[in-house]
Amino acid sequence: MVDPNADRAVFRQLADLLRDRILSGELAPGEKVPSELRLTQEYGISRTTVRQAMAVLRAEGLVVVDRPRGTRVRAAEAPETVTLRKGDTVIARMPSPAERRELDIAEGVPVMVVTRADGSTELYSGDRTELFYPPVSRR
């Protein structure tokens, strides 16, 4: 339920409701999110408000917009494991538009920049990368 008299903006309330449905599994990965028209009718709000809520969820990486098919819950992908070695460093930052396209990264998802001890750099999507640092063996 959205409350237009609440202290929280209506679009944020709608984003909260949809996020809860996604995270609980009520809206499963790959499933269509209710249409703008349906949400405007169900909650008595404007299309602009619905679009603002969808922009929030898109920025969080929870939904993808596939025109003309509509908005779907983003499917989780298996993470890529990156093994770190002594002297490697990692930072997280937001990607450039070109990096976002190249790595197929959703809005709001950072990149992991791995700088190897030799100075080379590698970019990975922050939501699909698992960093692994092997334990040091002591003999």
User: What pLDDT shows up at residue 135?
Assistant: 84
Sequence spans of domains, the chain: 10-73, 80-132
User: What pLDDT shows up at residue 114?
Assistant: 97
Report the CATH fold assignment for 10-73.
Arc Repressor Mutant, subunit A (1.10.10)
Q: Give Cα 116 distance to the centre of its chain.
A: 27
pLDDT per 10-residue tile (average), the chain, 139 residues: 92 97 95 95 96 91 83 86 95 95 84 96 93 81
Q: How many other C-beta atoms lie within 10 A of the C-beta of residue 95?
A: 19
pTM for this structure?
0.66
Q: Phi and psi at residue 17, in whole multiples of 5°?
A: -65, -45
User: What pLDDT shows up at residue 67?
Assistant: 77
